[in-house]
Amino acid sequence: MAALEAWANLALRWLHLVAGIAWIGSSFYFMWLDSHLKPGAERRDGVAGELWSVHSGGFYRQIKFMVAPSEMPETLHWFKWEAYTTWISGFLLLALIFYLGADLNLVDKAKLDLAPWQAIGIGLGSLAAGWIAYDGLCRSPIGQNLRAFGAAWFVALTAAGWGLTRVFSDLGAFMHVGAIIGTVMVANVLLIIIPNQRKVVAQVLAGQAPDPSLGKQAKQRSVHNNYMTLPVLLIMISNHYPMIFAAPLNWLWLAGLGVAGVTIRHFFNLKNQGKTQPQVLAFGALVFVLVALANEAARPKPPTTDLVPTYAAVRAIVDQHCITCHSANPTHKGVPMAPAGTMFDTPEGLRKHAEKIYTRAVATTSMPQGNETGMTQAERASLGAWIKAGAKAD
């Protein structure tokens, strides 16, 4: 069973990564394509522009119609399964890690003593609430102005981050903010972009004039998806960086890094339109640096002690708080094998991973998860003193 779960995790992560690359790649490409269209040599009614390009030894000519061609071709390619596969694989990963393992990875009893089913219900509810809030903003007068909409949606996501970090484990909260964004993005494709495109195709096939508002609405959602890609990618990799997700004010640092991502994406969108504005890129980089500096300044200093404990004392601390997960044969429910292969049940393993232990259990206190074993500040200080003294097993 443990091996099956590990292989399922790997398969889903791989699929999620591949599908995400395909989806985001097509999003970036079509935004670039739209901004590079020029009037063609052949002036044709209903044509918005065309582009000649060369790739892999071949020449390509792309033509975009303002609404739709007068006749539909026999074969029409749809870009949808990249989005659907990314979301399905991502949701299955969320379920495998945070729902099946809710008591370990999602619930933080120090914040809110939830039963696993309650935590799962809140998590699923947050995904639905995120879409309802987003779609409502898009359909309101605010949705007609990209900047006003961006500000309102940023506030909504920041509020979600603040709220979820007070209910779930830090990493569980981060992943649900990412899941909200991903759900909104795929719902845009499933409920707005593809249905509107199908309506336009049906109108052309029926000999009717296609409704231009359908394309306009689909374009609005596509542009939103484009701007949300870098923040959602940040969240996908954030589990590797406890100095962000396990830090005080983690919701604020997530919001700040989201601003950096959106700003950097905006720079490239402007650049694609021939408007190179290095100050926009510099602002995004500055926001990143400011978040890093503020994060470091706000982080409490690790607990310290002048007394360096013996290996036996450290062994007792680790055995009490870490070994149920980080050992050759984990005994913790929902942990089939040592996370990331980090095992502390031997002197060699403990020394090898000493710096990781310091980062997770002393500097950021992100381990044990939710501090479910009740590790004290004194124990953290002892671990830190032993590691700083050379992590000697004597």
DSSP string, 292-356: HHHHHHHSPPPP--S-PPPHHHHHHHHHHHTTTTSSSS--STT-SS-GGG---SSHHHHHHTHHH
Short-list 100, 256, 112, CA closest to 170: 112
- Report how far residue 64's alpha carbon sits from residue 93's, in angstroms, rounded to the nearest whole number: 37
pLDDT tens series, the chain, 394 aa? 667 777 888 899 999 999 999 999 988 888 888 888 888 666 666 788 888 888 888 888 888 887 777 777 777 888 889 999 999 999 999 999 999 989 889 999 889 999 999 999 999 999 999 999 999 999 999 999 999 999 999 999 999 999 999 999 999 999 999 999 999 999 999 999 999 989 988 888 888 888 889 988 999 999 999 999 999 999 999 998 999 999 999 999 999 999 999 999 999 999 988 899 999 999 999 999 999 999 999 988 888 888 999 988 999 999 999 988 898 888 887 777 888 788 898 889 888 898 988 988 898 888 888 788 889 999 999 999 999 988 887 7
- The pLDDT assigned to 373 comes to 86
pLDDT digits (tens, 9 = 90+) for 14-26: 999 999 999 999 8
356 CB-near residues (< 8 Å, 6+ apart):
342
Identify the pLDDT of residue 1. Answer: 60
Q: For residue 290, what pLDDT is reported?
A: 97
Q: Record the pTM.
A: 0.88
Q: How far apart are CA 176 and CA 108, in angstroms?
A: 14
Q: Looking at residue 112, what is its pLDDT?
A: 93
Beta bridge pairs of residue 236: none
Residues 48-79 have pLDDT tens digits of 888 888 888 888 888 888 777 777 777 788 88
In the chain, what is the straight-line distance between the N-terminal and C-terminal CA atoms, in Å?
38
Predicted confidence at residue 2, as pLDDT, reads 63
Number of Cβ within 10 Å of residue 235's Cβ equals: 24
> Where on the phi/psi map is residue 207: left (φ > 0), alpha (ψ -120 to 50), or beta?
left
Residues 6+ apart with CB under 8 A from 37: 48, 49, 50, 51, 62, 64
Q: Is 301 left (phi over 0), alpha (psi -120 to 50) or beta?
A: beta
Q: Which amino acid is at 105?
A: N
Phi, psi of 51 (to 5 degrees): -145, 135
Burial 344-359 (b: 16+ CB within 10 A, else e): bbeeebbbebbebbbb
Q: Please give the pLDDT value at position 42.
A: 61
Q: What is the pLDDT of residue 44?
A: 67
Dihedral through CA 351, CA 355, CA 357, CA 363, nearest 10?
150
